[in-house]
Amino acid sequence: MISISTTTPKTVSNVFFEESPKSKLRDFPSRISRTACLDGTCHINFAEAEDDSDRILDIRAQLTEDQADDLQSIFEAETYVNLSCRIGLFYGVIKTPKISNGDLRMKFLVKEKIV
């Protein structure tokens, strides 16, 4: 179950839906960069600890028309939202929600993990 809610009271302030098994909620990217050197070698730089703010939640779901309308209202009215799911509560932004015939594909960029 996923809940997306606004950070301030609104007419439409939350939407609930079940994520599909194709959702990717447990991907953990790492901060790694590689720079080519003039001598033909490379330098690899990495951070010791991964941060929740590196995460992108890839969410897939089947929405009703009312759920799709509520999600669109939240997306258009809010910059930052709260997203609650089985792995925690996150504060961040919705990026590129795509809804076609009730099929939702959406990226959520995590700013911070709340719980």
Q: What was the pLDDT predicted at 61?
A: 95
Domain locations in the chain as residue ranges: 2-113
Q: What is the CATH number of domain 2-113?
A: 2.40.30
Q: The tokens of 69 are what?
A: 């309308």
Give tens-digit pLDDT for 8-36: 887 788 999 999 988 888 776 667 788 99
Residue 50, pLDDT score: 61
H/E stretch holding 34? strand 32-36
In Å, the largest CA–CA distance within the chain is: 61
Nearest to 102 by CA among 3, 24, 25, 18: 18
Residues in the chain: 115
- Tokens in use for 94? 């919705």
Amino acid at 9: P
pLDDT digits (tens, 9 = 90+) for 29-77: 667 788 999 999 999 887 655 667 778 899 999 999 999 999 999 999 9
